Amino acid sequence: MDITQNLIQLLQRWFTEFTTISGGLQLATIIGCGVLAYFTHKSWQRFISKLLGGFEQQAFIRFLLRGTDRASFPMSMLIYLLTVRFILSQFELNVAILDIFTPLLLSLAAIQLTVYTIRRGFSPSPALRAWEGVISLCIWGLVALHLVGWLPDILHALDELSIDTGDNKFSVLSALKLVIAILLFVVLANWLSKLIERRARHSPHISPSMRVGLTKISKFLLYTIAFLFALNSVGINLTTFAVFGGAIGVGIGFGLQKIFSNFISGFILLFDRSIRPGDVISIGERFGWVQALHARYVVVRDRDGVETLIPNENLITSEVINWSYSDRTIRVRIPIQVSYDDDPEQVMNILLECSKQQPRVLKEPPPVARLMGFGDNGIDLEVRIWLRDPEAGVGNVRSDINLAIWKKFKEHNISIPFPQRDVHMVNIPEP
């Protein structure tokens, strides 16, 4: 009750202050200075937008100009208030309210510049950038309450609104502190994980798969540590969460089994380096390039540009062909069939000639042609070539070689036989 009475008395005192003639004059002055500062801020924004076009390559100057844009409203309003305050003080009028707004405007400008500088330095997510104004306003509100002397009473009142659960006390103030602490530690963890990711990306000694694994592990550990530090910072005993350990284990065993299995499988893929970003893999009827490794799935892009999300568990438990696992060199077989009337040695020379003309076909090991057998319709032959870049496609090379073989067969009158069948007619009736 004492806290509530103090707040009521403070509100009554300020209400009485504003309803006096001097208070009303100061309030009108504040509103007028705010309107002038708003138009000044808009004019300064237009002026800044014109200046920025001439400093496209100078990031530091652009940073300073955008910083002045953030502080133009409170600083211009402060200048107008100080000017009016000087005039009113010459007539010995009361300027107590104006004296309070002076540090409030200074703190608002400082907070906006600080948040802007942190945002530029930490490179937060777009969602956090959208909350930049809200964060600045909340911090400024706390500073304003502190300057007018209301903050201790309000904090004490929020702490009194609590729920007692045995030895623990959970109040509205502790809930607000917990939310703020989680936000701060999560932002810090996000910045550290991005810093680790940038360092790993520019390091020549870290492979792509280890880079992804290091990023995932660092994010998981940093977010976990941030959450635990946030709980500990507001006085929550971490041993109380031991009761939920069994419940979490049961949840993983039943409802979260697949999710947890995919999560663990993702770390297995990263550590054993069986599949890495950029690898060419075949799983089932899918063939494509590994674009990214995520905590739950792997992104595989095929030749049609379609991206398939394959769960990590499938890559662990199923048979996967990795065309670029230890050696990117692969062999491609191209079968061909010619008529029994043609010379197979001449045809084999043509197959080798057409294969060697393709720029992607390796000279070592060299292409070879083989006579595989004698089929029902013609002689079965096969040319075998070696490629070092399966990620560039296999079907396109096979198509180019087949087209060159077709042209050579036309030049040398070599025929590709049609299917032939012998039909025996038994017991033909007489006409």
- Please determine whether the domains at 277-322 and 330-411 fall in the same fold group of CATH: no
pLDDT of residue 206: 62
pLDDT of residue 146: 67
Domain boundaries, the chain: 2-160, 277-322, 330-411
- 22-26, 148-152, 203-207, 282-286, range with greatest mean pLDDT: 282-286
Contact 283, 318 (CB under 8 A): yes
pLDDT of residue 331: 86
- 149-158, 178-187, 228-237, 368-377, range with greatest mean pLDDT: 368-377
Dump pLDDT digits (tens) for 248-286: 666 556 656 777 777 777 777 777 777 878 788 888 777
Task: Give residue 241's pLDDT band: very low, low, confident or very high (50, 70, 90).
Answer: low
Task: Give residue 384's pLDDT band: very low, low, confident or very high (50, 70, 90).
Answer: very high
pLDDT of residue 207: 61
**Which tokens go with 185?**
């530690």
pLDDT of residue 161: 66
pLDDT of residue 335: 92
pLDDT at 413 over 60: yes
Report d(CA 157, CA 178) in Å as an integer. 17
**Contact partners, residue 3, CB within 8 Å, separation at least 6:** 153, 156, 157, 160
pTM score: 0.41
169-176: long-range contacts at Cβ-Cβ below 8 A with a sequence spacing of 24 or more? 174/234, 174/235, 174/236
pLDDT of residue 1: 44
Among 154-158, 260-264, 352-356, which stretch is predicted with the lowest mean pLDDT?
A: 154-158
Task: Give residue 383's pLDDT band: very low, low, confident or very high (50, 70, 90).
Answer: very high
**Which tokens go with 210?**
């280890």
351-to-358, 376, 412 alpha-carbon distances in Å? 12, 21, 13
- DSSP β-bridge partners for residue 281: 288, 322
Among 128-137, 303-312, 355-364, 384-393, which stretch is predicted with the lowest mean pLDDT?
A: 128-137
- 26-35, 94-103, 202-211, range with greatest mean pLDDT: 26-35
The maximal CA–CA distance of the chain, rounded, in angstroms, is 138
pLDDT at 119 over 70: no
Q: What is the CATH number of domain 277-322?
A: 2.30.30.60
The rounded percent of the chain whose pLDDT value lies above 70 is: 70
Q: Provide mean pLDDT across the span 223-250.
A: 65
Q: Give the domain 330-411 fold.
A: Alpha-Beta Plaits (3.30.70)
- 176-180, 191-195, 206-210, 343-347, range with greatest mean pLDDT: 343-347
Q: Provide mean pLDDT across the span 61-79.
A: 79
Q: Provide mean pLDDT across the span 5-16.
A: 58
Report the mean per-residue pLDDT for the chain: 75
pLDDT of residue 84: 83
More confident residue, 399 or 200: 399
Provide the residue count of the chain.
431
pLDDT at 2 over 60: no
